[in-house]
Structure 1
Amino acid sequence: MESSDGTCSGWRPGVPVRLFASRVDREVAVANSRHCLRDLRASGVGASLTYLGDVDHMTSPRRSLPKVFDWFTSLRGAGR
């Protein structure tokens, strides 16, 4: 069984959530993201998990930030 850091335990945001993870990140285990996704979905929270490829912890933000920006931009356009 994989361990979880408990970050998402009891967290119930009122907005959709997107998680990003890398399978080779040595600072934050990808298992934490999988557990968070499971906990959020079990509570009815709209959540998704995007794998960023085999990149380290410092490369993950460079891969995820453009995706986050595009998502926020699409949400902004949908709210008009």
Structure 2
Amino acid sequence: MPHYLSSQPTTHSVNTHSKGSTDAHTNNLIGFSIISFPIVLLLGIITYKKYRVAVFRRQVANLEKLWLIDVKNNTYRQD
């Protein structure tokens, strides 16, 4: 099976660095965005849930303090 190889120089010059590099940077940026968006979204949801739990616990603690206050003396009950 013969292989046809040409050793003749080409007459046109192609600047592959500028176009290929730009496309590669664009593809990297798009890929990074696609990967990072769900991660950031997930971290935001987890952080918000932890924040809501902390606020809820603080509200419960304040209500428990209020329930223990004696209305007449405005002091804590000693059961």
Q: Same fold (TM over 0.5)?
A: no
More strand by share: 1
For the pair shown, the structure with the greater C-alpha radius of gyration is 2
User: Normalised by the size of structure 2, how large is the TM-score?
Assistant: 0.29
User: Normalised by the size of structure 1, how large is the TM-score?
Assistant: 0.29
More helix by share: 2
Which structure has more relative contact order (CA 8 Å, sep 6+)? It is 1
